[in-house]
Amino acid sequence: MPAVSLLVVIVAFACSPLLSGTPLQPFDVYNALQGFAQLGLPALAIGITMIAGEFDLSIVGTYALGGMLAVSTGVSSPALGVLAAVAAGAAIGAAQGALIARLRIPSMPVTLATYIALLGLTYAISGGLSKTYPNSDVTLWVDQTLAGIFSPRSLLTLAVFLIAAVVLGRTRLGRELRAIGGDRRASRVAGVGVDGLVIGLFTVSGTLAALGGALLSYSYASANPDPGLQPLILAAVAALLGGVSLAGGRGTPLGLLAGALSVALLAQIVAITALPDFTTQLLYAALLAVIVAIESPGLRALLDRFRASRADRPQTLS
């Protein structure tokens, strides 16, 4: 699923000059990657919680708060701003994770409440207004063009994805994460330390979202106290296109990378070809409709029936 969707989008991207009439520039790729940098970290954050069968709505809250904290504390030292944002994100994530793991409470309403509270906190810090970031050196630095198509921001985002891919792919954390998402009861029986994993998971997702928000506000030279639900929904779409299931148990960081790139490229295609804005929305709707159809238990029952009738013949074993 992630490979297919990425491939389709890349082909569409390569074909977009047919519609726009102007050949593709490296700058178009740069722009797409900038879009990816904006979306990537929240997508990774929500994606890993979805792999584990949770759903962290609060990432938009940490995203906004992270941006606001970075802008407020990072005027003289941008690293300090990032640090403040990341520390806040980690602390909030850890507290939420502890609540969810210890009380065995569904994550969706908890993180929804946290989201609202964080939105309020961000508003309260900024007085409800956008806060500008006066250190223009930093703004120029994070978005400077590297090798024609990259920027420090997009490279950093890519690096985080690669780290996540290595950690989840090369250690037992990856399989344990998918195990608790796939079947939590069985994982407990098998001896997986579920509670610790859940707490760690939310800590990481809070951290990633806050980092994403901080980088974005440096790039925009301002922090927006209320980004709305849009970043969350796009992040979820990227995760779903990246092969993650809301039921949990499925997905990899590289899949999430493909999903986030797909969404970013789609947006860029619409921008290049000057299609009306709503086309993106309809495209997302169509893609999600495909996901709904694939994931619907009705279809799965049909598959099961097929598989079971095959397994009914014992000779398939030998």
Partner 1 sequence: MIQIDGLTRAFHGVPAVSGVSFTVGAGEIHGLCGHNGAGKSTVVKMLTGQLTPDSGRIVIGDEPVELRSRQAAQRAGVALVDQELSVVPALTVGENMLLGDIHAPLVNRRRAAYAHCRRVLDDMGLEGIDPDQPLSTLSIGEQQLIEIAKALSQRARLVILDEPTATLTDVESASVFAAIRRVAATGCSIIFVSHRLAEVLELCHSVTVLRDGRKIATTPTADLTVDALIVQMLGEPPFRLAAARKPDHDLAHALRISGLRVPGRLRDFSLTANAGRIYALAGQLGSGASDVLRAVAGLHPTAIGTVELHDRPVPVRDPVAAARHGVAFLSNDRKSEGLFLDRSVGWNLTATRLPFFARAGVLQPRRELVIARALAERSGLPEHRLGDPVAALSGGNQQKAFVGRCLGRDDVFALLLDEPTRGVDIGGRAAIHQLLRRAADAGLVVLFASTELDELLELGDVIVTMRDGQIVNRYDGDVDVDGVLLMRDMTRGIA
Partner 2 sequence: MTAVPVRSGISAVGLVVPLAGLAVLVGLAGTTHRFLSLDNARAILASTAFVGITAIGATLVMIAGSGVSLATSQTATVTAMFFLSTQQYGLVTAVTVAVLTGVALTALQGAVIGYWHANPIVLTIAAGFAIGGATTWFSGGTPVNPEVREFDVLNSTVLGLPVAVYVLLGVTVLAHLTLHRTTAGRQMYLVGSNRTAARAAGLPVGRVTVIAWAFFGACIALTGVFLASFNTSATVTLGGTLTLDAIAAVLVGGTAITGGRGSALQTLGGAVLIAVISDVLLLRGYSTGVQILVKGILVLAAVVAVHLRATRGRR
Residues near partner 2 (CB under 8 A)? 55, 99, 103-106, 108-110, 112-128, 225, 228-229, 233, 236-237, 240, 246-247, 276-282, 284-285, 288-289, 291-292, 295-298
Strand pairing partners for 131?
A: 223
Report DSSP state, residue 296.
-
Dig out the tokens for 57 from the structure: 């709505």
| Near partner 1 by CB under 8 A: residue from 89, 248, 253, 259 | 248
Residue 192's binding partner out of partner 1, partner 2, none, with CB under 5 to 8 Å set by partner kind: partner 1
| Cβ atoms of 138 and 217 closer than 8 Å | no
Considering the rule CB under 8 A, would residue 183 count as an interface residue with partner 1? Answer: yes
What span, in angstroms and rounded, lies between the C-alpha atoms of 206 and 9?
29
Site for partner 1 in 19-78 (CB under 8 A): none
Question: Is 128 strand, coil or helix?
Answer: coil
Shortest spacing between CB 249 and partner 2, in angstroms: 13
| Near partner 1 by CB under 8 A: residue from 179, 239, 257, 263 | 179
Residue 41's binding partner out of partner 1, partner 2, none, with CB under 5 to 8 Å set by partner kind: none
Site for partner 1 in 298-317 (CB under 8 A): 301, 304-305, 307-312, 314-315, 317
Residue 265's binding partner out of partner 1, partner 2, none, with CB under 5 to 8 Å set by partner kind: none
| Near partner 1 by CB under 8 A: residue from 176, 211, 269, 291 | 176
Could you tell me which residues come within 8 angstroms of residue 152 by beta carbon, excluding any fewer than 6 positions away? 141, 142, 143, 144, 146
C-beta of 160 vs 239, nearer to partner 2: 239
Sign of the four-CA dihedral 221, 226, 227, 232: positive
C-beta of 145 vs 281, nearer to partner 2: 281
E strand or H helix at 131: strand 131-132
Query: Tokens 């799965």 correspond to what residue?
Result: 300
The angle that helices 136-143 and 152-170 make with each other, rounded to 10 degrees, is 60
What span, in angstroms and rounded, lies between the C-alpha atoms of 263 and 108?
24
Residue 194's binding partner out of partner 1, partner 2, none, with CB under 5 to 8 Å set by partner kind: none
Strand pairing partners for 223?
A: 131
C-beta of 81 vs 182, nearer to partner 1: 182
Strand pairing partners for 146?
A: 150
Burial class (CB in 10 A: 0-12, 13-18, 19+), 21: exposed
Residue 274's binding partner out of partner 1, partner 2, none, with CB under 5 to 8 Å set by partner kind: none
Considering the rule CB under 8 A, would residue 250 count as an interface residue with partner 1? Answer: yes
By the criterion CB under 8 A, which residues form the site for partner 1?
169-173, 175-176, 178-179, 181-183, 186-187, 189-192, 248-250, 301, 304-305, 307-312, 314-315, 317-318
